[in-house]
Amino acid sequence: MTEQRSGSRDVMVIGHRHPDTDSVCAAISYSRLKNRLDPETGYIPCRAGTLNRETEFVLKHFNTPTPRLLSDASPQLSDVDIRRRAGVDGEMTLRQAWRLMRDEQIDTLCVVSDGDCLKGLITMNDIATANMDRLDPYILANAQASYEKIRETLDAEVLIGDLKDRVVEGRIVIGAGSSEQMERAINKGDLVIVGNRIEGQLTAVEMEAECLVVCAGSRVSRAVLLLAEEKGCIIMRTKYSTYAIGQMIGQAAPIRHYMTSENLLTFKMESSVEDVTRVMSKVRHRYFPVVDDGQHYLGVVSSRNLLSLHPKRLILVDHNEKTQAAEGMDQAEVLEIIDHHRINALETDGPVYFRNVPVGCTCTIIYQMYQENGVEIDPSTAGLMLSAILSDTLMFRSPTCTVQDQRTAEALAKIAGVEMEAYADAMFEAGGDVTGKTAHEIFNGDYKVFTSGETRFGVGQGSYMSSKNQKASEALVGPYLETALNRQGLDYVFYMFTDVRTSTTELMMAGEGAEEVIRRAFQVGTENGIAVLPGVVSRKKQMIPALMGVIKQMAEEK
C-alpha cells in the first residue's frame, strides 16, 4: 500500500539513502502538514531505499502506508508532457488511419485492444507501403477486410445484401469486356467492380460473385437485384469512377493487417529520460508508445516532447548532504530542506527554505512547524513523530537529545495514546531482530557516507535492546565490512553496534589505518577488530565530529 496523490507537479518529500525511522516518519509527517497548508499542490512522502525493521514496525503499529520508493530523482518520462492521444481499433481502415494522421499531424498510431492493451503500431510508412502493394488481387481477402469497411471507404449505398460479419474471401476483379471475357475472369466469391452495363452486372452475379461494386452512381435493374438476392450477392453503389475505386478499395483493408506487433519498442513512465533519449537517437521512429506495467497504452512520446521536461520537485528532510541524497538529486529542483545535522555543501539552483535546528530529531522540528501553523496533529502522525524522536535520541540517552526533544515526545505520546517506555522497548526490539536478514540488509539499515577533504568514509549504526540481537548482527556485518569498503571505493568503513540500555557502542571497522583513526579519536585500542566505546551512542554528535577531526589532522600530517 502506498500513500500518495497524483499530479503532474507534485512535490516529493524525501529523506536520505538507507532510510532510518526519522527520515521516513519526517517525510510522512511533513508531507501531511504541507498538504494541509497547501492542498492545491500535492506533497508525497517518499523513501530513498529499503525500510529497516524498526521503521516497518512503526508504520505497521500506526497503520501507515509505506511511502513511495524514489531511489533516483533524475528525470523520467513521468516528468515529461507526453502526447496523451487515444489508441485506435485494429479494424480501422488504412484510409481512416491516413486521415487521422493527416489531421492530427502525427505519423504513428497505436493499436489497442478493448482493454486498452497495446497490440501494435501503424506508421505513415506502413500505409505508404500498403498503398504501393496494389498488384495482388487478394489484398482484401488476405487482410480479412469487412464489406462494411469497404462501404465506408467508398461512401457507397447498399442496394441488396446483408453486410454484417461478412469479409472478403475472393479476388478484386474489374468487370470490363464482353460477357464471355467476364465469365472467364470471374470466380465464385470474387468482388467485382462494374459499370452501367446490365449484361456485365448480370454476368458477375451469375458467376456467383460475392459482391458487386457499381461505379459512377450507375443504375442497377430490378432483374439484377432479384438475381443477386437469390444468389446471396451484395450489391453496393458509389459515386466514384472505376479508376477512383481501383485506387481506393485497397484502403479499406484493416490496419491490424499491416501493423507491427512483434518486438515493439515501448517506454514506461518510469523510464529515465537519459535512456529514452539514447534509444530515440538510434531509431528512425518519431513517436514511441508509452505503457504501464500491464502493457496498457498511455500515450506516445517523441524527442520533441522531451523538451518539455519538468524536473522533479523535492523537499529534503533529515539530510542536507549530496552524498546522502537520492541518486540524480542534482537534476531535481530542491524547494526546502528540514534537517538537524551539520550543514555541508549542497548546491541548489536558487534560494530554498532551509530550516536547520540543533535538536536530536527532525520530527522535533516538524512538531514546532505544526504548532507554529496552528495545525492539529492526529494520533497516527503523533505516533510517527514520537517514534522518530525515540529512535534518534535512543530513548533520550543520546547526547544529541535536548529538553525540547523530550518535551515534544511527551506531548506526542499523549496524542498518540501510547506508554513511551514500553513502546520504545518494543520498537527497538523489533529493529534489532536480524532473523532471516543478510549482512547487506543489516549493513544498509542505517548507513551514511561522509567526506573530509579527499577522504571518504562510511558510518553505519544499529541500536539494540538485547545482547542476543546485537551479537547476531555483529557476526553477520563484521565479515561484510571489507566487501562494502571495496564496493563503494571508500577509505574507511565504521559500524556502530549500540547497546541502548548500557549506552555503550561496540565499533567494528575496515580500511587501512582505521584502527589508528579510532585510537586517536577515542584513545582506545581494539580487540578482535572491535573497539568498545562506553557512553558513545550518537553517530551525529559523538562519532562523526571525532572522526572528522582526526582524519583532517592525519591529512595535514601527511
DSSP secondary structure, 278-308, as one string: HHHTT---S-EEEE-TT-BEEEEE-TTGGGG
Average pLDDT along the chain, 558 residues, taken 10 residues at a time: 49 94 97 97 95 95 96 89 90 95 91 92 90 83 95 96 94 89 92 93 94 95 95 96 92 93 89 90 84 90 87 94 87 93 80 94 98 97 98 92 97 97 92 88 90 94 89 94 95 95 94 95 92 93 94 89
* 267: helix, strand or coil: strand
Q: Can you give the pLDDT at residue 468?
A: 87
Task: Give dist(CA 205, CA 219) in Å, integer.
Answer: 15
Provide the grid cell at 525. 585500542
Q: In the prediction, which pLDDT does 345 show?
A: 62
Give the number of C-alpha atoms closer than 13 A to the C-alpha of residue 28, restricted to the C-beta side.
Answer: 31
Domain locations in the chain as residue ranges: 11-75+311-431, 146-252, 439-557
Considering the four listed CATH numbers 3.40.50.720, 2.70.98.60, 3.40.1390.20, 3.60.40.10, the one that applies to the domain covering 146-252 is 3.40.1390.20
Place of cell 497495446: 118
d(Cα 130, Cα 138) in Å, to the nearest integer? 13
β-bridge pairing 313-317 and 333-339: parallel
The predicted model scores a pTM of 0.68
Q: Of the CATH numbers 3.40.50.1820, 3.10.310.20, 2.40.160.20, 1.10.1380.10, which one belongs to the domain with range 439-557?
A: 3.10.310.20
Q: For domain 11-75+311-431, give the CATH superfamily.
A: inorganic pyrophosphatase (n-terminal core) (3.90.1640.10)
